[in-house]
Amino acid sequence: MASVSLEKVQKNYGTLNVLEAVDLEIADGEFVVLVGPSGCGKSTLLRMIAGLEEISAGEIRIGERVVNDVAPKDRDIAMVFQSYALYPHMDVAANMGFSLALRKTDKQAIDTRVGGAADRLGLNKLLARLPRQLSGGQRQRVAMGRAIVRDPKVFLFDEPLSNLDAKLRVHMRTEIKALHQQLKTTSVYVTHDQTEAMTMADRIVVMHDGVVQQVGAPLELYDHPSNTFVAGFIGSPGMNFLPATIKRSADFVAAILADGQKLPVLASLPVSEGDKVTVGLRPEHLHVAGDGDMSAEVEVVEPLGLSTQFYARLAGQQICVFVMGRVAVKPGDTVRLSATASDLHLFDPETGQRIN
Ligand SMILES: Nc1ncnc2c1ncn2[C@@H]1O[C@H](COP(=O)(O)OP(=O)(O)OP(=O)(O)O)[C@@H](O)[C@H]1O
Ligand SMILES: [Mg+2]
């Protein structure tokens, strides 16, 4: 096992800069998830760690060793991709043992390693099958098995679950997490799915347009997003954003919405009378309450059984409200809503940065 550290790692294609000076320290045994929308540079960064993509500037270390000029096969990493890339004419056992066979590992050692990985992944009964005789989830497991038998210092995953249906994806992410808890191999996992990131990661790296926006534990990002991008990206349903103006007097601070309705603001926040702000409020932090200070018009109701979410118009904008259990509202209703000052996030409307 090993740590991975990136120092000012950059990627340009000609004059096009797709990754801007990324600094990241991944601890030995940590599971780090790179997340962000399509095109933000996740795969590029992962492929640079793997050695499949040249680094335009900066330094990558795996353990103590600088690997900038080390060939992928000598980096002691194993990669699992979205496309499983199994050899179609080889059975499961041969697919899993292939990299060891290439390295002239003796037959008995290969069998032991493959058997061990198959045990962990529940593939014992499938070792003699060809890839085309497997389901998608089983193929994905073989791809993971192939990585495990190499006993690498670092696992690199690039959207390994994207080809699976929703239910299997949820199942497999639990399996990968459980596997990591057993093996404790340093892992870097790329996904565009914030739920996958939240559920699997020790730490999440949120990226946007080739720039790291924030690095932190899942709930750190959820509770203290450093800007509106992270605030909007992490959490589902997403955070509501409302433009507001600060009203500050000796005994209270409030954010006044476009139509004059107001939200309480913590007095400790560095905002002054007249400041323009963006208020961020998570759907579960808007409470339906008979004596709520705000009123909103219900537009769409989504009953999910365990919970209910509904969309309503507040100060001219559509907002989402999340309620555990059931709530008796229907389109056209006017509901009273309340929120607590400590649940409000304030952002600078120009820079998008959090106001702390
Ligand atoms: N060979 C190339 N030449 C020029 N630009 C490239 C090249 N390869 C990738 N890019 C650009 O680099 C950026 C990052 O690509 P990358 O594949 O890392 O994104 P990603 O975050 O993995 O996206 P996705 O979620 O769609 O896989 C994209 O804007 C892409 O268009
Ligand atoms: Mg990608």
pLDDT single digits (tens) 109-129? 999 999 999 998 889 999 999
Q: What is the pLDDT of residue 209?
A: 96
Which ligand neighbours the alpha carbon of 210 most closely? 1
What is the average pLDDT across 5-18? 96
Distance from residue 209's CA to the centre of ligand 2 (Å): 13
11 lines ligand 1 (CB under 6 A): no
Banded pLDDT at 167 (limits 50, 70, 90): confident
Specify the long-range contacts of residues 123-127, CB closer than 8 Å, at least 24 apart.
123/92, 123/96, 126/92, 127/91, 127/92, 127/93
Extract the tokens encoding 347: 């952002």
Taking a C-beta distance cutoff of 8 angstroms, is the pair 51, 70 a contact?
yes
User: What's the mean pLDDT in 323-328?
Assistant: 95
> Minimum mean pLDDT among 162-171, 282-291, 330-339: which range?
162-171
> Could you say which ligand is closest to the alpha carbon of residue 22?
1
Q: How far is CA 251 from CA 265, 266, 269, in A?
A: 12, 11, 14
Identify the bridge partners of residue 247 per DSSP, sorted by sequence position.
254
CB distance 15 to ligand 1 below 6 Å = no
**Ligand 1 in contact with 38 (CB < 6 A)?**
yes
Chain center to CA of 232: 12
First to last CA, the chain: 38
Cβ–ligand 1 distance for 183 under 6 Å, the answer no
Look at strands 186-191 and 203-208 and give their pairing: unpaired
174 falls in which pLDDT band (50, 70, 90)? Answer: very high
Decide: 192 in ligand 1 pocket, CB within 6 A.
yes
13 lines ligand 1 (CB under 6 A): yes
Q: What percent of the chain has pLDDT over 90?
A: 91
Please give the mean pLDDT across all residues of the chain: 95
Instruction: Find the 38 Cα to ligand 2 centroid distance in Å.
Output: 7
Hey, which of 44, 53, 188, 233 would you mutate to test ligand 1's pocket, going by the most ligand atoms within 8 Å of its Cβ?
A: 44
Name the residue at shortest CA distance from atom 2 of ligand 1.
13
Task: Name the one residue in this structure whose structure tokens are 């093996």.
Answer: 183
Query: Maximum distance among all alpha carbons in the chain?
Result: 79
Say whether pLDDT at 259 is over 90. yes
Rounded to the nearest angstrom, the distance between the alpha carbon of 158 and the centre of ligand 2 is 7
Contact 277, 244 (CB under 8 A): yes
Is pLDDT above 90 for 94?
Answer: yes
Cβ partners under 8 Å of residue 81, min gap 6: 143, 158, 159, 160
pTM given for the model: 0.94
Average pLDDT over residues 346-352: 98
Among all ligands shown, which has an atom nearest to the Cα of 44? 1
Residue among 42, 83, 208 whose CB has most ligand 1 atoms within 8 A, to mutate: 42
Please name the residue whose Cα sits nearest to atom 9 of ligand 1: 44
| Matching residue, tokens 């309705």 | 261
Q: Which of 25, 22, 42, 26 is nearest to 34 (CA)?
A: 42
Flag whether pLDDT at 90 surpasses 90. yes
The answer to whether 237 and 322 have CB atoms below 8 angstroms apart is: yes
Question: What is the rounded distance in angstroms from the CA atom of residue 46 to the CA atom of residue 44?
Answer: 5
3-state secondary structure (DSSP) of residue 5: strand
DSSP code of residue 64:
T
Index of the ligand 1 atom closest to the CA of residue 192: 25
Q: 4-8, 82-86, 155-159, 173-177: lowest mean pLDDT where?
A: 82-86
CA-nearest residue, atom 5 of ligand 1 = 13
Tell me, using a 6 A CB cutoff, whether residue 41 lines ligand 1.
Answer: yes
